[in-house]
Amino acid sequence: MKKILVGTHNKGKFKEISYLLSKKIQKISPQKLKIQSPKETGKSFLENAKLKANYFSKYSNLPVISDDSGLEIKALNGKPGIYSARWAKRHGSFKKAMNFILMKMKKKRIGPQILFVAFHSNT
């Protein structure tokens, strides 16, 4: 494989994913090919990642690696989950959304929690 499309419009995610791939592979962004993002209509992170990978592959004719991510906070019953970005936008910014989360956790009298990050692979 000589080229791969990294299926995200998020510059930070593009860098993170690109870093994990071989330096010998040319990484291409959807912006470079003027491909818009699809609507994320999946019911899970995995469904949204597959949706994006299939969409970008269809319009680029390249192999694609894609992801979906967000916050699932056990104390808040898994919220905001797959709607994290939309949720943060609704609160005005990422920082405001994080302050809202902290306030909700204080109301529930929940102290500091351990952050657990999981990665899923279908291989």
Note if 67 is an active site residue.
no
* 108's tokens: 């529930």
Give the residue among 82, 85, 59, 61 at the shortest CA–CA distance from 72. Answer: 82
* 115's tokens: 């952050």
Give the residue among 48, 25, 26 at the shortest CA–CA distance from 37. Answer: 48
Which listed residue (68, 84, 88, 101) is catalytic? 68
Give the residue among 20, 52, 58, 21 at the shortest CA–CA distance from 38. Answer: 52
Supply the residues annotated as catalytic: 68
